[in-house]
Amino acid sequence: MPPIDFNGLDTVVHGPVRLGVLTALQIDGPLDFTTLKKRLNVADGAIGIHLRKLEDIGYLTCKKAFVGRRPKSTYRITPKGRGALRDYLDAMQRVINAVDRGEETH
C-alpha cells in the first residue's frame, strides 16, 4: 500500500472553522459576517481571526458597507480559495479511499 501523504494538506483550509467558511461560501455564495457566524456557531472574535487569515492568504475577499448606521462585511470565496478547497477535499477523499480499502482487507 502506498504511503498516505498528509504533508500536502493545506493547513489554512484544514481548521474546522476555516473549512466551514470556505464550504459555506462555495455552496451558498457571498455571505455576511453575521450569517457566517451563526451558520458555524462561533463567537465574533473566533471567526474574525479565521476570516482575516483566509483574506490575507487570498482565499476570500471582503466587501465592507454600511446598512443604515451599521457596518456590514460580506465575504466571497475567490478562485484561489475554490482551488484550495477542491485540492483539500481531493486529498481527504484519497485518505477516505485508503481507509475504505484497508477496511475491505480486514
Q: Which residues are 75's β-sheet partners?
A: 31, 62
The answer, yes or no, to whether residue 106 has pLDDT greater than 80, is no
Domain ranges of the chain: 11-104
Please tell me the predicted confidence (pLDDT) of residue 1: 52
Of 13, 21, 17, nearest in space to 76 by CA: 21
pLDDT digits (tens, 9 = 90+) for 72-99: 999 999 999 999 999 999 988 988 888 8
Please report, for residues 9, 36, 65, 71, the alpha-carbon distance to residue 68 in angstroms, rounded to integers and kept in the order given.
Answer: 42, 20, 9, 8
Average pLDDT over residues 15-39: 96
Reply yes or no on domain 11-104 having CATH 3.20.20.140. no
Give the mean pLDDT of the chain.
90
What's the whole-model pTM score? 0.86
Please tell me the predicted confidence (pLDDT) of residue 24: 97
Average pLDDT over residues 15-19: 94
The CA-based dihedral angle spanning residues 9, 22, 99, 101, taken in that order and rounded to the nearest 10 degrees: -100
